[in-house]
Amino acid sequence: MEKSEILDVLNDWNFWRKEVDVGVRREVIVKKIGEMLKAREIVVITGIRRCGKSTSLLQFCKDLINSGIKKEDILIVNFEDPRLKNLNLDLLNKIYEIYLTELNPSGKHYVILDEIQLVEGWEKFARFLHENKKINVFVTGSSAKLLSSEYSTVLAGRHLDLEIKPLSFGEYLFFKNIGVKNNLDISQKRHEIKRAFADYLKEGGFPKVTLADNEKDKRDLLEVYFRDIIIKDIVQRYKIKEVNKLNELAKYYLTNVSTLQSFNNIKNVLKLNLDTVERFSYYLSGVFLLNFVKKFSYSEKEQILNPRKVYCADNGLRGSVAFVFLEDYGRLAENLVFNELNKKDSEIYYWKSQKQEEVDFIIKKKQKIIQAIQVCWNIDKPETKEREVKVLVKACKELSLKEGLILTEDTSSSEIIEGIKISFQPIWKWLLET
């Protein structure tokens, strides 16, 4: 690429000569990025496509400029810009040299490499900047491979990691201009909050989708996101030829969120070979679209042999492409709860008794079981409530827990059953409290 072409691209993405739209601020994430900067290590930010990685970094850059950092001391390179051709280390070095020559930044400057997984060998360049130039380096990517062992070897001890996810329910309310700062706000605005939760449950939390004006725009965005995840993050990267099979598998998983799945069963249902199912499932997980949860067992062999529960990164994404004819609020609610639990530094399992009774979530932290959670959208029927309570009590006893939690559409209460405290809480309220 010619120097003038590179400068044209850089000018469009940087603050140097114009104001850049930084979107609606996600305070918690911007604050985390600022805290990570203090460690003077390479900051690696990952997450599903369009969840807000780049925007959050733009908001952080805006803070830097407002604090007195010169605009010219910040370099942003978006490697998904189609004008950047033949992405490799040579181009990366050329871009940086042009930046140094044309912008003349100070010794302490900031380099942001956006969607860097597209450049082979990027980790060597990031390490060079960090070690030899003492530059503040930030990299983002839509692939968990950014944190794979091959990269970690080069960056060993020199990086801090942050995974960004779609909006939490609290952030969603903020994007919708519903201010919730304390329990008094929750009580006063509960009807407004519950209406917003009904939308959040179905449309998910991608920032741009949340801000879209109508249902058609939301759906169109989500369909584009899904297509880009499949084509740009998987097909192009891994040179997949069986695109239809990959699409079919992804839609099968999204249709069946919050259910137990085994590779062998999927192989028979979709008429795929086992290697293809395993490999494609790994890719779908690696781009943050899916998560697979193991059965809780003290035996690693039993964990491996049992089916896993599948969850999707966002309910809206699921709804836009899944083959669903009737809304299953129970599955959507369970998927939402998983995504909230998955933000915490803990291990998540499901539990099954010998009679195949199931508890949705067992939370383990530092080798200790700390919580058992059941998700049941509607417990109005006495037989439903009795069934859900019975299995949760059984799991709590086996795991030496004194209490269990049942998350519902809108029930708040607690009771003692066989010496175990069972609490019932609305999901929307639990999301705000967590």
CATH at 129? 3.40.50.300
Stretch 413-425: mean pLDDT: 97
Check: CB of residue 14 under 8 Å from CB of residue 20: yes
Instruction: Give Cβ neighbours of residue 90 (< 8 Å, ≥ 6 apart).
Output: none
Residue 150 has pLDDT above 60, yes or no: no
- The pLDDT score that the predictor gives to residue 107 is 82
Are 182 and 256 in the same domain? yes
Are 287 and 202 in the same domain? yes
Check: CB of residue 344 under 8 Å from CB of residue 354: no
- The pLDDT score that the predictor gives to residue 415 is 96
Are 319 and 172 in the same domain? yes
According to DSSP, the residues that pair with 308 across neighbouring strands are: 261
Q: What is the mean pLDDT of the chain?
A: 94
Are 8 and 153 in the same domain? yes
Q: Give the other-Cβ count within 10 Å of 187's Cβ.
A: 9
Give domain status of residue 112, yes or no: yes
Expressed as residue numbers, the domain containing 249 is: 168-329
Structural domain ending residue among the three candidates 112, 145, 163: 163
* Residue 355: both structure tokens together: 């009679």
Amino acid at site 55: T
CA–CA separation, 100 and 46 (whole Å): 27
Q: How many domains does the chain have?
A: 3
User: To the nearest 10°, the Cα dihedral for 111, 153, 240, 245?
Assistant: -110
Are 287 and 423 in the same domain? no
Are 154 and 178 in the same domain? no
Check: CB of residue 331 under 8 Å from CB of residue 253: no
Structural domain ending residue among the three candidates 130, 163, 196: 163
CA–CA separation, 58 and 23 (whole Å): 9
Are 22 and 47 in the same domain? yes
- The pLDDT score that the predictor gives to residue 50 is 96
Give domain status of residue 336, yes or no: no
- The pLDDT score that the predictor gives to residue 172 is 98
Are 69 and 96 in the same domain? yes
Are 39 and 124 in the same domain? yes
Residue 153 has pLDDT above 90, yes or no: no
- The pLDDT score that the predictor gives to residue 155 is 77
